[in-house]
Each structure stands twice: as C-alpha cells, then as structure tokens.
Structure 1
C-alpha cells in the first residue's frame, strides 16, 4: 500500500550510492510514481547529494524531498545535452515542483510563398512546412494584419489563395482599391511582380531606405516621361511606406534582431514580457505567467522560462534578459544548438539594450499588477459560486457547454473553460456533431454526443483523475430537462460525482431572471445585482459566442467549397478551364459527357470521370 512506501532523505541517500560524477538529468518520483521534479546536473552525484537532508532548503524543496519515494537518472555526454533533455522532460511531464510555462502560445509569421509564378503574401502560424520566406514572429495576429495591410498598399502583392487566383477572370476588389497589381488577369508581368516581391522581403528585413530611394527614382522618372498616373501611384506607395515606418512604435537603431525578455515577480507570482524586435522594428509584445513558488529566484525562473519558451520556437540572433541565469554561456550554447547558428544571450546594464529591457520589465510589472487584481476578483467570484451551489470548495475548473445549428444543419457543440485565472482559451474545445441518426435540432441528442465524447476521452486519458483536466462544475444551457438528461449520460459513463447546474432563462426569457436547476434540488435564482449572477451570465455568453463562431466558420467553409474540388484529377488549371467554359460548378455538374469532352485540356477519360462523379452524386 502507498502508506508503507518509504519516502524522504534516506531514500535519496541509498540512491546516491549508485551515482557517479557524470552529467545528466534526474527525476524525483513520489509514492505513486508521479514525477515531482526534473533537474539537470554537471555532476549527478554532487547535485543529488544536496537532497540527502531536509535542513538548509526552502519549504518547497524540503516538501519535495520528504515526498520523494524513488528517483530515475539519465546520463549524458555533456552538460549541454543534459540541459536540452531537462527542458524536453519538463515540457512533457509537467512536474509539480518545476517552473512551468502554462500558456504555450504559437506566434504568427508573414509568409511570402515561393512555389508560384506570382508569390502570395499571407499570415502563417504553426510548422513552417510551406516553401517560402518567413518573417517574424509577430506578437499577435492583429500585428501581422496591420503590417500585411500596409505591405499590400506599398507593394501591391496578392493575398488570395492559389485556387482563387487560378479561377479569376476579372480583377478583384483589392485591385480596384489599389492594394493588388492583379497578376491573376495578367495586368503585371512575372518579372515586374518578382521585383515587388523582392522589395517587400527587403522591407521586412529592415532595408527600407533603399526601397524608398528606389520608389522616389521611379516617381521622378515617370514624372519626367509625363506618365503622371504612374508617378501618382509611386507617390501613394511612398506615402504608405512612410506611414508603416511611423506606426512601428519603438524602433531601436542598434538592435536589428532580438527578443527582449523582462521579468517581474511579486507575491509568489511572475510575469514575463517578451518584445519581438525584427529588422530594427518592434513587432509587438506578449506576456506570460509561469507557475512559480515564492521561494524561487529570478535566475531559476528565467532559466526555466527560456528552456520552455524556445522549445519549438526558433531563437533570434540576440536575447536580452532582465535577469541573468546561472550559466549564461551554457544557455546561449543550448539556444544556438536549437537555432543552428550563434545566439547571443545578454544581460545589459547600460545603453539602448538596457533601456529596452527596462521597458519590458515595466510592462511586466504593470501586467502582473492587473492580473493579480483580476485574480483576487476571480477568487471571490468562484467562492461565491461555491456558496451559491453548495460546492465543497471554490471550483478550479468550470466547463460550460452549448450547441449551435440552423435547423440541425452545420451542428456543432462547444465547451469553454474558466478557472482562477479567468477564461482558459487554450482549453476550449469544439465538437462537430457526427451522429447521422439525430433528428435535426435535437439539442438533447447533441448534448449527449458532446458529453459522451468529452468524458470517454477523459476517462481513457486520465482514469485516476491525477491531472487538472477534470471539471469541478458543469454549467449546462437549459433547465430541469437538460440537467436530467445530462445526469443520465454521466450515470452511463459512471461519472456521477461532478456537480452540474442548468442555467435556464427563467420568466419571459429575461436576461437577469435566470433560474438554476440541480438534481434533487428546487429551482433557485440569484439576486439581480449579485456579482455571481453576472459572472455566470458571462460564462454562458462566452460559451454561446464560441459555439456561434464555430458554427459560422463551419457554415462558411461549406458555402465556399467548390464541388469540383472533390473530383479526382481536376486541379486548379483544369478547374479554371471548366469554369471558364461552363460558367459555374453547377453547370459543370449538369453538363453532358459530349460537352465535357469539348472543353480545352479535358481528356476523354477525365470527362468520363467528371461525368461519372456527378452522376453518382446525383
């Protein structure tokens, strides 16, 4: 049994006998073999020896030692390998006593494609699998969109998809408003378009002076040749370029490429602000709130943050820190190994770099202050929820469910999550309703499918409920009928101990007169001015917003889908030929075999395949 397993310093002392002075990574495990802590060491024997007594440690480390029932080690050739391995294991295992970066954000880039005669410029997020030039990262999608908008004004590059490009017969609105040079209909040659693409890439690398001089020369030449319309176009592009440079914000002159990382810690909480400097331009900033303890030092927190932040992200050529780490050279070597080139890790004390770091620290301090204030309010609201619905403790995870459809079409279910830190958007989930047997508009049936899928997966992935993914409260949109149906679903899944509350609109479906339904209890209401009522309304409205947004996205995708995309052997060129000949996909689907064979570029075999595809569909 668990209570008979020995834990504490004596366990570590026995384990120490098997260690030598090799570098490596050690894991400390509790009585149930859960990983408590992952650490690296230049010498495993020396590092682990520090844990053979309880005295002389902070409360956090002393608790960790006292809970340790066993250990695991992996030796490495070098300390650098140990550092990289430690970072990977922390991300995978999420040990309780390590610093953990909770919000693993991915950042958008600008992609200039290189697999087309007329490259496209667009926003890109995720793995860099497409061929082309990537510029970034930007702190947010909004920052990317602003730069893309200005780049279109200056360089007139297309942002349409390849399939849209291939099927156009007339210029789109972007050409009319002077944001595209209409390569889709041949209004610009591939050579001239390539020059614009190269100029845009140079701008994104910070070479703006050359581009402005070039545009000014073209404007002067056009004016001298009395091509006043072209000269005016050049003037507008210069004006747009000047506007881009003026709105970039703080643009450091001596720092062409860097991530500026500022840390502020207070009351056992921490906030990092990361500013992205690329091409001597500020491409925005983002904040992070790692899980820390009050006894952790800034150096320890910073080192852990760097390892986890750059896992899966390419480090820039320079990283500026507000706090140094234990071994700056080793961390710089690790980042260089990830980037495949030299990365400088600096802790500046004066000059422009120090000013940038202080700006990041100031933003971190202000952000943490706002978050702590919001967390205090959130804590009071969660306690109010517990009091209102007789919960044993304030809920750490509330899941709210909603459905959206139009008479059963494009049906989706949605789940949002809220907790002590507010809405946890990385935990939101959408469910495409798959049951073809459902009666259109059957909300009970949709809710049953959503909850069944959600909790079957949870039971499979975490049957012992050791993770923090199990909800403390379910909020269901509906009254007694919905609560009863959900209770039946949960009983079938053998999950009957999760509290649930149905939120019904109440009298006249009035916002503010909500009734709350629970199994075995009479319907209840909260005072109209009760902050808990407003809180629950916000949760329900957020679930509704997410469900509606997911439903609209699914519907929009279905509406823009072209039936020709499903026909094997019909690519962009042949699709364009078919649409040019017949005028629409519907006309293609109704065309006779002989008419299909008459289309330029469509072989007899392909015509038969197209005819058979739509004949079988019909």
Structure 2
C-alpha cells in the first residue's frame, strides 16, 4: 500500500510555490486549511517577496504564526506595482484578512452641493455619488459640520435650501425668509443677477476667499451708507460681523495650507488611533478618529501605509496629505493617489512651521482619543464579566444582540437590532427590519419577533453555517417576560441555534426602572440589586434598542406621510413629476385633475395622461 504524503504547509509550501513564480509585480494571498484568507500583500517582484516567507528564521512572531497557518496561496500579476497597490487595498477591504491592518470604518463623507440645474441655484447637503450637476465642496468630517456651514452660508448669503418642486409651488415667502436665512427668490424678491452674485460669493467663501468677500461687503456697506440706504447698509454690516465671528470661532484656519488632509497616528499597547483633519479653502472642516485593527507587532509605518491606502481606495484625495509618520512606499502611494485625483498629490511628513503645528494638533487628538477609548473599553470589559457572572454565562459575551419592535396599532411596523461588545455599542452593526409578513395580525409582537429573528438567523446560517465569524451573537436580550422568552426559544430551536444564551428583560413591578425581572429558559425568574452596575448596563442596552426601533419607526412613518401619490404610477419619472407639479401646483391637485387638463401638461403624452387619470379615477 502506497501512503499519500501529507500536504505541504508553512515554509515548505511557500518554497514549493516559489519555483513556479517569476519576477512580475502583483498581489498574493495566503490562505489557511479552510480556504480563509489570512493575509493579502503586494509586491514589486513576486518571486523575491514570496522568497522572504520561505526562510525558516528571521520573522516576527506575527509573521511566523501566519506562515505556519498557511495551507495554500493565490497570485495575481499586474502590469505595474501601482496597480498591485490599488488591488491590494481593495482586496483587504473586501476580504478582511486576519493578519492585515484593517480600516473598520468605510462610511462616506458628506459634501455641500451648490446645484446649477436651476436658474436660482440651491445649496444643500450631499452624500454619495456626485451625479447631480453643480459644484461640490468637501469632504466634511460629519453631518454636523455640514449643517453648521450651511447655517452660516444661509446667514451670510441668503441662499435657498428648498427643493425645486417646493420652489416652483410657492406663492409667498417661507419661514426661512422671515428669519433672514433666504432672500425669497421663489416669489421674485430678488433678481436673478443679484442672486447669482450671492451664489458666487458663497462659493468663494467655501473656497477660502472670505477676506476678499468681507472687503467687498465693507465697500458696498459704505456705498449704501453714502446713498442713505441705511437698511441695506445695516444688513451688510450684520453679514460682515457674522463672518468675522465664524472666522474667530473656527479654531484651526491655516493660512498657508489651502487644501489638505492631516493624518496622525498614535499606537500604544497593541491598539491604534488615527485622527484625520480636513482642511479645505484654508478652513477646518472637521475631524474624525479611526481605530484600525492591528495585529501583533506591526510597525507604525505599516499601519500608516495600510490606513492611507484603504482610506483613499474609495475616496477622492486632496492635493496634499500631511502625515505624522512616514509610510513604507511614499513614491508608490503618490503615484496611486495622483492617478486617482487626476492631478499631482503631495504626501509629506512636515518638520517645521504651520504644517507641523497641524500634524501635532492631530497627533494630540489621536493620543487623547485612544486614551479615552481604552478607558471605556476597560470599563466595558468589566461590565461584560459582571454580566456573565450574574446570569451564569460560561464566559463574557463578545457580541450581544438586543431586539425590539416599534409600531402604532400595527402600522409602519419595524424591528430593530442593536449590537454591543467589548468596545461598547457597535453602531455599524445595527440593523432594521421592515415587517413584511402578510399573515401577521396588526400589533402581534410575537409574530413580528418571529419574523425578525427568522430573517436574522436565516442569513447568518446562509453566510456562515459553521459559526466561525464574529457576526454570531453570544447573547440575545429580548424586551419581554416569560411569554416572549418561550416564543423566541421556539424560534431559535426551529432554526437549530437554540444553544445561544438568551435573557428576557421585563419591566417588573409598577414597570419602574430598577425593578426589572429577568427570564431565562428553564431557570427561575430573577432580579438584580437596585444599584448593581450590571443592572444599569442592561437598562442602557434595552433603552438603546428601544431608541433605535422608535427612531426607525418614526422615519418610516414620516416617509409614508411625505410620499408623493405620483410615485406609484409607472412611467412617471422626475421630469414628468416636476412638470405636473409646476402645472397644477400640488400632487393633490393632480389627483383631482380631469383628462383634458392632464393632456395639456408639457411632456405628458395623451396615453400617459390617460394612465394618470385612470390611476386616480378608476
């Protein structure tokens, strides 16, 4: 009998691959025995790079573990090393390998859009693909930063923020005009030429030319005063004063850095925080902190390189990127970002002057943010240990899922799921469930919970039947008593996941906070001491789930209330809808219109007019 030799692993496997590689640039993937990607890397020369893993000695503890776990490798050659760098970052974000530095927050940033599709341009917040015609200004670090800037622009320049349909339908000024936030172009209170000047000044302000605007406003104020137009002079004075106040309150407003992202990294005890400041038009447009996943003994340069590559993989870079620490392949990253932007991008680690002050400020913020996070994480871990002890769990849970429903007499019903773990609330993992079941009686909380949990675990079993990912919960918290617990246990048993710990949280006597009762399958009802930190922790989780579910329900209800009846008609797109609203003044008027009037609308054919009429007058 001939024995089959054991499959190669580790150094031997890599050495075997090495014999079939050439010196092309490309990307390599290291996989374990279960075909899970352990690491994604890029190389200028694949043969030389892979050869470094074939040596038995000279590796860090992290790299040694990775090599020992490697059971297969995959290779993809590219034309240039720059292409390899871009492909590497895309694969890391997609596959989330165990041994790569991973940026865990990939939310898009909001922008300000000055739309030019209308004779009187609208100014508004925009997030997502830049498909609408107009000028975009950003990115801003948060929606709050955008809203503050929009408020300033409305105070200074009196630009409209209403939609085009609202603009066309107005017959008198809205509240924005009354509070001096708009010049009411909708009712002809300002000429198109004057409004165009306001739009131009607003865009110059966003471009960092506020001092020039102030000088021009001061000159206009003096002219108005000389002409005895004291009301106009007073309005111009107020605008100059408001702009000055904004400039003095913004804090960091670098004079020599018109456009840059300032990126600073702080690492301690195996954890990292990256602080990013956005400088546009010589103005500080906010900052955001990130906590990339780092594994073992990675270097600061490696973390910074991974962060920069992943951060700009789906974002447009600025003309300048200021770093607190050098990256491994500066020239390569410059080439990649320049190709993405379409113009020269500079990456620098400043050593003096205003740029160094910007980086130092970002570094200080990163250090303080990481210290706060580590302190909060230590408290959270202590609470999770206390939770495990209080409810006889085998170990502190790594992932807690809390469920709640919200509806009004069964209408606009939604289910909400929040997630908590050692790092606190994990808001990126929150999920909402629109209740779809036609067989659910309005107000049937049991039926809603069954649908929510069924959809949740059906997806988990489909995506990860072996429960090897971090998406599987260790503990479920349900808002309810014995009935809810029993019903949920039946649901979990139906899906074959009834080994997951579950606790029902009931309000208890008089439904007072602090008198909660806890229900578990096969165990007597219990309560915690009134001042027990674990009790406060559970209350906070339950209240967060309740807040999320109610907020989702309100948003759904508001959307239903604001729904335009024209949206239900096939063939009615934005242009036809706008034409109908302009012609009739409101959607309600369209529903009451006769066939002759509908045929008179520009852009609506006779056949479409009949479809609209038959829809509302069956």
* Structure 1 residue 258, shift from structure 2 partner: 0.6
* Structure 1 residue 227, shift from structure 2 partner: 2.2
Show the counterpart of 2:454: 452
Distance 2:231 2:513 in 1: 58
Show the counterpart of 2:582: 576
Secondary structure of 1:522's counterpart equals strand
Show the counterpart of 2:399: 397
Alignment of structure 1 residues 428-507 onto 2, 5 Å: 428-507=430-509
TM-score (norm 1): 0.95
Match of 2:52 among 32, 50, 72: 50
Show the counterpart of 1:533: 535
Show the counterpart of 2:138: 136
Deviates further, 79-88 or 209-218: 209-218
User: What whole-Å deviation, never above 9, does each CA across 1:307-356 have from its counterpart, x for those lacking one?
Assistant: 11111111110001111012211111111122121110001111111111
1:331 to 1:602, Cα distance in 2 relative to 1, 3 A: closer
Structure 2 contact 419–429 (Cα < 8 Å) conserved: yes
**Is 2:353 aligned against 1:359?**
no
Match of 1:521 among 484, 498, 523: 523
For structure 1, the residue ranges without an aligned partner over 5 or more in a row are none
User: What whole-Å deviation, never above 9, does each CA across 1:414-464 have from its counterpart, x for those lacking one?
Assistant: 111111111111111111111233211111111111111111122222222
Alignment of structure 1 residues 336-347 onto 2, 5 Å: 336-347=338-349
* Structure 1 residue 141, shift from structure 2 partner: 1.0
User: What whole-Å deviation, never above 9, does each CA across 1:165-188 have from its counterpart, x for those lacking one?
Assistant: 222111100011111111111222
Distance 1:58 1:458 in 2: 35
Deviates further, 408-417 or 565-574: 565-574
Show the counterpart of 1:261: 263
Distance 2:159 2:477 in 1: 47
Distance 1:306 1:614 in 2: 55
Deviates further, 21-30 or 49-58: 49-58
1:37 to 1:115, Cα distance in 2 relative to 1, 3 A: same
User: What whole-Å deviation, never above 9, does each CA across 1:141-166 have from its counterpart, x for those lacking one?
Assistant: 11111110010011111111222222
Structure 2 contact 581–590 (Cα < 8 Å) conserved: no
Alignment of structure 1 residues 312-331 onto 2, 5 Å: 312-331=314-333
Deviates further, 64-73 or 53-62: 53-62
Show the counterpart of 2:416: 414
Structure 1 contact 471–498 (Cα < 8 Å) conserved: yes
Structure 1 contact 564–575 (Cα < 8 Å) conserved: no
User: What whole-Å deviation, never above 9, does each CA across 1:227-260 have from its counterpart, x for those lacking one?
Assistant: 2222222222222222222222111111111111
Deviates further, 221-230 or 287-296: 221-230
1:63 to 1:613, Cα distance in 2 relative to 1, 3 A: same
Distance 2:596 2:72 in 1: 77
* Structure 1 residue 490, shift from structure 2 partner: 1.7
Match of 1:561 among 560, 563, 567: 563
Match of 2:232 among 230, 236, 239: 230
Distance 1:186 1:363 in 2: 48
Show the counterpart of 1:210: 212
User: What whole-Å deviation, never above 9, does each CA across 1:268-321 have from its counterpart, x for those lacking one?
Assistant: 000001111111111111100011134111001000000111111111100011
TM-score (norm 2): 0.95
Show the counterpart of 1:220: 222
Distance 2:428 2:556 in 1: 20
Alignment of structure 1 residues 132-171 onto 2, 5 Å: 132-171=134-173
Secondary structure of 1:260's counterpart equals strand
Structure 1 contact 255–280 (Cα < 8 Å) conserved: yes
* Structure 1 residue 384, shift from structure 2 partner: 1.5
**Is 2:128 aligned against 1:102?**
no
Match of 1:301 among 300, 303, 310: 303
Distance 1:557 1:196 in 2: 33
Distance 2:396 2:508 in 1: 25
* Structure 1 residue 409, shift from structure 2 partner: 1.2
* Structure 1 residue 4, shift from structure 2 partner: 5.9
Deviates further, 187-196 or 150-159: 187-196
Structure 1 contact 167–572 (Cα < 8 Å) conserved: no
Show the counterpart of 1:115: 117
1:57 to 1:598, Cα distance in 2 relative to 1, 3 A: closer
User: What whole-Å deviation, never above 9, does each CA across 1:474-514 have from its counterpart, x for those lacking one?
Assistant: 11111111111111122222222222111111111111111
Distance 2:608 2:95 in 1: 53
Distance 1:158 1:10 in 2: 68
Show the counterpart of 1:39: 41
* Structure 1 residue 399, shift from structure 2 partner: 0.8
Distance 2:452 2:336 in 1: 43
* Structure 1 residue 593, shift from structure 2 partner: 5.5
Secondary structure of 1:571's counterpart equals helix
Show the counterpart of 2:184: 182
Secondary structure of 1:452's counterpart equals helix
Secondary structure of 1:523's counterpart equals strand
Show the counterpart of 2:546: 544
* Structure 1 residue 600, shift from structure 2 partner: 10
Distance 2:8 2:182 in 1: 71
Distance 2:519 2:603 in 1: 65
User: What whole-Å deviation, never above 9, does each CA across 1:119-155 have from its counterpart, x for those lacking one?
Assistant: 1111111222222111111111111111100100111
Secondary structure of 1:100's counterpart equals coil
Distance 1:354 1:565 in 2: 54
Deviates further, 307-316 or 157-166: 157-166
